[in-house]
Amino acid sequence: MTASTLTPAQRVAALEAAAREPGAEAAILAALEDPAASVRERAIKRAARYLEPSVLGALVADGANAVRRNAGLSALDRQGPYAVPHLVGMLGGQDPELLLFALQSLSRIGHAAAAPAILPLLEHPDPNVAQAAIEATGKLRIQEAVPPLCGLLQRDLWLQLAAIAALGDIGHPDAVKPLMAFVPDSILAEPAVQALRRIAAPESLEPLVPLLFSVRERSLRDPVLLAVAVVIDLHPDPEPMLRRMERDVVVDGGNLATYLGQLLEAPPGEGDADESDSLLRAAATVVAAAGIAELQPVLLARLARDAASQWIEGLFTRFPERLTGRLAELLRHPDQDVRCGALRVGFFSPGDVSAVIGHLADPHLPVRTAACHALGRVGLDATAPLLLERLRNGEPPEQAAAAHGLAGLSPEVLGELDGCLEPGTAEAVVVEALGVLARTPVPGLEPRVLALAESRSPGIRLAALRAASRVPGSRAEVVLMRALADRHAPIQAEALDLLVRRGGEKSVTTLVAMLGTADSLRFHVIRALGHCRAQSAAVRLRDLFSQCGPHEQLQIVSSLLRIAPAWLPQFLLLRLESPDLDMRRAAAQGLAEGAGHEHLPVLRALAEDADWDIRHSAARGLGRLRTAETRDLLLTLARDVESVVAATARAALEQSQAAVSSAA
Amino acid sequence: MSPFPAADLKLLGDLIQERFGLTFEGVRQEILAARLGPRLRELHLDSPRAYYEYLRFHPQRDAEFARLPALVTNNETYFFRETRQFEILVDHVVPERRAGPGRPLRLLSAGCSSGEEPYSVAIALQNAGHAPGRVWEMDACDLNVERIARAKEGVYEEGSLRACDADARRRYFSQEGARFRLRDRYRAGIRFFQANLLSPGFAVERGAYDAVLCRNLLIYFCDAAFEQAIGLLGRALLPGGYLFLGHSESLFDRTTELAPVVVGGSVVYRKPPA
């Protein structure tokens, strides 16, 4: 069978086989020009791993063969930091096309070390090269480029546009003033505002806000609104500007409010959904931050009506004072959604409680539910009877909200929950009441809680176990341990988690004793001992290892990693010799997490392992050590055929670089 | 962005690919993470790596593997989806293939999910006067045993009828509370069975079918699985038989004997006539 008659899958297999033999370079180079995309993609991965950047650079220089050129560029991109020195070297060349490719590749790789070589090219006589250099400064966020880029704002249109975008990408506040010079009366006003939005510097709030009132054309007003909203979001102290804005809205004659109102009430699905959503959020930010009274009800109603608009709650929480003086009026609003929204976001002091209580009898369930939540936020013990009443007699959402509110009160006023735990009470009420006790234990109700842990209903048993886990003393521990043998597997697993969270040497002793049973629960017991970080169980787990099946063995390794006994590295090194790949993977992962300099020879060997997951662990371990030798190994892993390995190695190199920079 | 490490998701994705030929590379890893998150919580497992180990070694791994396809694939389907292809089948393929020997046409719906596609074809054929058994018969298979059971039951939720107008609902279904039962006459002529197209044990009869519908299934397959599936479906077709793919699927850049042909204004794939 000749190469031309092989299927793409067969050609990929042939490439993989050839890549392991002498003369692999020729096979890889040939495959880079294969007619099938799937074969070329595989060849690019191999080329990135096994060919030197100079060889790939020669492919890029071959202007007569676009397939080779594209393949060479893709492989250089994949090499990442390994290719950077070569690409930086290319920036010293004369061929504008190659300069362009090198700049674009460096931009994609994202390596800031290239900055000194890029900056001189901002003034390159070839406009395409200059533009690529400008774009590269933006992609690489080269701060030193800000002054020369500001200088380029006076050049021809294409370079201006590129410079504006790059300044936005870099995000330095020094660019605010030069960019504002284009707004509002320039054809570059819109890109300049978009750049200001990306910079989001506090300095831009003062010049941008007046534009929100004065600019009427949507093509510019929308970007201004988006920019203002982002700046408000990130501003450390927007208050002075917002107060001024609140006053300006009053004298604006409703123009800005009309514009924002249209955005808030736009039906979904009109035009570009992402753009509409961004504008909606920006308008909501301005309304909440500047306290635009006529639009607050619209925003509150939207919060109550639309499950996808819960983010509005955060806006009012950030600017509570904008709502405070108007809360009473909003709570009387005829629209139930407005009342509901106001109850959900309002800040109520103990003195405001009477305004909230009335809504516990509102005809609309969401309003009553929001009132329960509001009372819970106040946290006034005197409201306990009201919340208890809703817990007993409300509908499920009210019951949950009332339970949530009750959990925030003092244990002294929760004794009345006893009535919710009596035999014959509806299961939903019992479960919610137990939920309160799981968050706020009440000593007087402990016997009742422990008794309910034996209930016939799995739902009540589960809730009671959660509450019991907060009860001190050995009786509660016995209840939890008995639940490990519950006939419902989810309750067994929950009991185990609760015991782990509860901690304590007695729990560990019991769990260790349970290692002697060889039933399906033992797997969970091994896991639980790991979560308890039970030092006293480490030796027992190690001794158990040889008697277990593979799933328990892997769990033992995981648990020992959490416990971290002193002898763990030796244990893991032994596991690395296992014939089972997954055991070796688990061991390699463990060694990577706790790697010290003494493990460098092991990590070096793991970095050359045939299995990608083991190489990935090696990359993580090497990243922790940060020595000159690990850097070379990481550079090789950074061009690994498996993207996930390469990405981890690159991240490790970047962290290492950042550590060096910060130390310097 | 997924809360899980990319390496864990790749480990799990590779296992799923090896077992089912389904691929979850690149951005699809996010989909995998989103779909498996609830299952991990149910099993009290804290990472995809722990789930991978569960699938590889846990005593209950076979049962877990059996439910995995339903967890990770989209069973998004409904009656009369992409109906243009049914029209082509009825108006062009059936008349052409019936000119052959006097036997019923044999059709295959590969990746039939809970039956919406094969039943839609059956309705289209019956509406054109082509009786099941005499004029045509159909095999329908899916990887997921639960979906096959639902297909055999023939009872659907509202969502499966989203492309049905009121008249279609009345004609083809009887309402049972909030659900809709396909009328018996449209359930005739179809044989449902569970099968993994990529399993070594899956063998369709060579040269058995006049037309195969395999729509919106191959998008989940890795390259090797795609080639394998296309080879298998090609062998399953009779000479001159047709393969219908989903709108976002094509055999461009694939090595196959199936050639693109334009029928009724749409591209379908055809095995060379004998």
Could you write out the three-class secondary structure of B37-106?
HHHHHHCCCCCHHHHHHHHHHCCCHHHHHHHHHHHHCCCCCCCCCCCHHHHHHHHHHHHHHHCCCCCCEE
pLDDT value at B1 more than 70: no
Mean pLDDT score of chain A: 91
Q: Residue B217: its pLDDT value, please?
A: 85
Range of weakest confidence among A32-46, A161-175, A256-270: A256-270
Q: Report the residue of chain B nearest A646, measured CA to CA.
A: B7
Q: Report the residue of chain A nearest B231, measured CA to CA.
A: A7
Give contacts of A590 with chain B, Cβ < 8 Å.
Answer: none
Q: With contact defined as beta carbons under 8 Å apart, do B241 and B204 qualify? A: no
* CB of B59 less than 8 A from some CB of A: yes
Find all residues with CB under 8 Å of A84, minimum gap 6, and list them: A106, A109, A111, A113, A114
Q: Report the residue of chain B nearest A520, measured CA to CA.
A: B59
Interface test with B, best of A11, A41, A497, A616 (most B CBs within 10 A): A616
Q: Residue A4: its pLDDT value, please?
A: 59
Does CATH place domain A63-170 in 3.40.50.620?
no
Size of interface A-B (CB pairs under 8 A): 53
Give contacts of B255 with chain A, Cβ < 8 Å.
Answer: 7-8
What is the rounded CA–CA span in Å between residue B112 and residue B117? Answer: 6
pLDDT value at A271 more than 70: no
Here the ipTM equals 0.72
**% of chain B beyond a pLDDT of 70:** 96
Q: Residue A661: its pLDDT value, please?
A: 66
Range of weakest confidence among A38-47, B179-188, B215-224: B215-224
A249 class by beta-carbon count within 10 Å (0-12 exposed, 13-18 middle, 19+ buried): buried
Per-residue pLDDT band for B75 (boundaries 50, 70, 90) equals low
Q: What's the token pair of residue A310?
A: 């819960």
Four-residue CA torsion sign, A558, A563, A568, A569? positive
Each residue's pLDDT tens digit, B27-64? 788 888 888 988 998 888 889 999 999 999 988 899 99
H or E stretch covering A162? helix A157-170
What is the rounded CA–CA span in Å between residue A592 and residue B5? Answer: 15
Q: Length of chain A in residues, anyone? A: 664
For residues B218-226, give the mean pLDDT. 83
Domain limits, chain A: 1-51, 63-170, 503-565, 576-664
**Interface touch B54/A648, C-beta < 8 Å:** no
For residues B207-233, give the mean pLDDT. 87
Each residue's pLDDT tens digit, A347-357? 998 988 998 99
Per-residue pLDDT band for B71 (boundaries 50, 70, 90) equals confident
* CB of A38 less than 8 A from some CB of B: yes
DSSP per-residue letters across B199-245: STT--PPTT-EEEEEE-SSGGGB-HHHHHHHHHHHHHHEEEEEEEEE
**CB nearest B223 (choices: A38, A524, A644):** A38
Q: Report the residue of chain A nearest B49, measured CA to CA.
A: A586
For residues A532-556, give the mean pLDDT. 92
Q: With contact defined as beta carbons under 8 Å apart, do A560 and A533 qualify? A: no
B21 class by beta-carbon count within 10 Å (0-12 exposed, 13-18 middle, 19+ buried): buried
pLDDT value at B115 more than 60: yes
Find all residues with CB under 8 Å of A547, minimum gap 6, and list them: none
**Interface touch A647/B227, C-beta < 8 Å:** no
**CB nearest A9 (choices: B58, B223, B253):** B223
Q: What's the token pair of residue A587?
A: 């061991």
**Interface touch B56/A550, C-beta < 8 Å:** yes
Q: What's the token pair of residue B257?
A: 């004997």
pLDDT value at A507 more than 80: no
pLDDT value at A275 more than 50: yes
Closest by Cα among B233, B225, B230 to B207 = B233
For residues A476-493, give the mean pLDDT. 84
> Do A576-664 and A63-170 have the same topology in CATH?
yes
Each residue's pLDDT tens digit, B124-137? 999 999 989 888 99
Question: For A576-664, CATH number?
Answer: 1.25.10.10
pLDDT value at A1 more than 50: no
Q: Residue A611: its pLDDT value, please?
A: 96
H or E stretch covering A358? none
All domains of chain B in start order, with CATH: 6-72 (1.10.155), 84-270 (3.40.50.150)
H or E stretch covering A41? helix A37-50
* CB of A497 less than 8 A from some CB of B: yes
Each residue's pLDDT tens digit, A176-189? 999 999 999 889 99
Q: What are phi and psi of B218, to 5 degrees?
A: -65, -20
* CB of B31 less than 8 A from some CB of A: no
Q: Under DSSP, is residue A426 helix (H, G, I), strand (E, B) or coil?
A: coil
pTM of the full structure: 0.75
What is the rounded CA–CA span in Å between residue B270 and residue B258? Answer: 5
Task: Please name the amino acid found at residue B239.
Answer: P
Q: With contact defined as beta carbons under 8 Å apart, do A515 and A540 qualify? A: yes
For residues A482-507, give the mean pLDDT. 82
End-to-end CA distance of chain A: 61
**Interface touch A555/B53, C-beta < 8 Å:** yes
Q: Are strands B173-176 and B266-270 parallel, antiparallel or unpaired?
A: unpaired
Q: Residue B25: its pLDDT value, please?
A: 82
End-to-end CA distance of chain B: 52
Each residue's pLDDT tens digit, A40-84? 999 999 999 999 999 999 999 988 899 999 999 999 999 999 999
What is the rounded CA–CA span in Å between residue B230 and residue B251? Answer: 9
Q: Residue B99: its pLDDT value, please?
A: 67
